[in-house]
Amino acid sequence: MKNTVLIPTYRRPLDLSRCLLALQTQTKPVDQVIVVVRDTDSDTWQFLADFPTDKLPLQTVTVSVPGVVAALNAGLAAVEGDIVSITDDDAAPHPDWLEKINAHFLADSNIAGVGGRDWIYQRNQLEDGSQSVVGKLQWFGRVIGNHHLGVGEAREVDVLKGVNMSFRHAAIAQLHFDERMRGTGAQVHFEMAFTFALKRAGWKLIYDPQVAVDHYPAQRFDEDQRHNFNEMAFINLVHNETLVLLDHLPSLRRAVFLLWAIFIGTSDSLGLVQWLRLLPSQGQLAGKKFLASLRGRWLGWQTHKQFKIQNTLQEAQRATKFKSKFVVF
């Protein structure tokens, strides 16, 4: 199997350098490395101009639209490998990363995606811990991540994480990352729509903690600053989560999800109960998060509804054209 590694990057040449160095030490050599670079990112273009061409089979793709979705879709169009492995510029895959990824795809032709643990280093301090439940969608719509804390054996999951996910190219040939995701940079939850689509098509997704990368969360240059509250970033996160789940869940579970989301929610997407829980410790900030969450839920519902209307109209138009051809015949 030929392996392609796809890396979207923006204004982080030092992090990108560490990532590329890690790819040079893979026990299973990479066959193609695609780095997707924004046209205005002069620092990264200068770094790549000086990068030794004999070290990696490196290919650059230019994108002018902001956001990780546009970058990944542009990169997918250039993929030549049987397996495409996606990671972030601020991550460094372990030496056996590609070898272990390949082993899973070779073992089972029904596997479309493989992901693993990202060992997170915050200010050079390892965020350690262990969780057995990883990447699962509960029946009422709550998504459990924990990809950075997973332990145990390889197992089937519902969701992979963008910093460490690989796909069988044949399984995703007609699939693209959802351009409805809001945000100008990270576009949080973009991977959920992609992996849920594969699950609906009947493919397997595997999480293996031994398929590992070291992750050094770096500065972002959009509205989402990771640890500082930004109203628009919060709204975007909740919108994306809401849209993906409304698209994926059947009608009854969709209704249950909306009720749960509004009245309970999570610490990242607040419902009424979560707002009351955080109110004593966060005060006005909890109120801002709650209002931003409600706004995000509403916008996610609106995007979902508009998409369904568009699909209905397109199906009606196709049916009309087919009927017209039949009558003429």
Determine if the pTM surpasses 0.75: yes
Mean pLDDT (whole number) for 250-270: 96
Distance CA(266)–CA(180), nearest Å, equals 23
pLDDT exceeds cutoff 80 at 18: yes
Pick the range with the lowest mean pLDDT from 55-69, 152-166, 268-282, 307-321. Answer: 307-321
Burial class (CB in 10 A: 0-12, 13-18, 19+), 57: middle
Instruction: Quote the pLDDT of residue 292.
Output: 97
Q: Which two tokens stand for residue 98?
A: 């590609």
Is 29:4 a contact under the CB 8 Å cutoff? no
pLDDT of residue 320: 64
Q: What is the mean pLDDT of the chain?
A: 93
Per-residue pLDDT averaged across 240-264, rounded?
97
Round to whole Å and give the CA distance between 70 and 49: 23
pLDDT band at 173 (very low <50, low <70, confident <90, very high): confident
Residue 329 in this model has a pLDDT that exceeds 60: no
Q: Let me know: does 34 contact 5? Beta carbons within 8 Å.
A: yes
Phi, then psi, of 267 in degrees rounded to 5: -70, -15
The CATH class given to the 3-215 domain equals: alpha beta
Q: Where are the domains of the chain?
A: 3-215, 231-323
Closest CA to 101 of 239, 21, 6: 6
Structure confidence by residue, pLDDT tens digits, 306-328: 988 887 777 767 666 655 555 54
More confident call, 264 vs 308: 264
Average pLDDT over residues 165-189: 94
225 band by pLDDT with thresholds 50, 70 and 90 = low
pLDDT tens-place string over residues 67-85: 999 999 999 999 999 999 9
Which has the closest alpha carbon to 275: 260, 288, 255, 290? 290
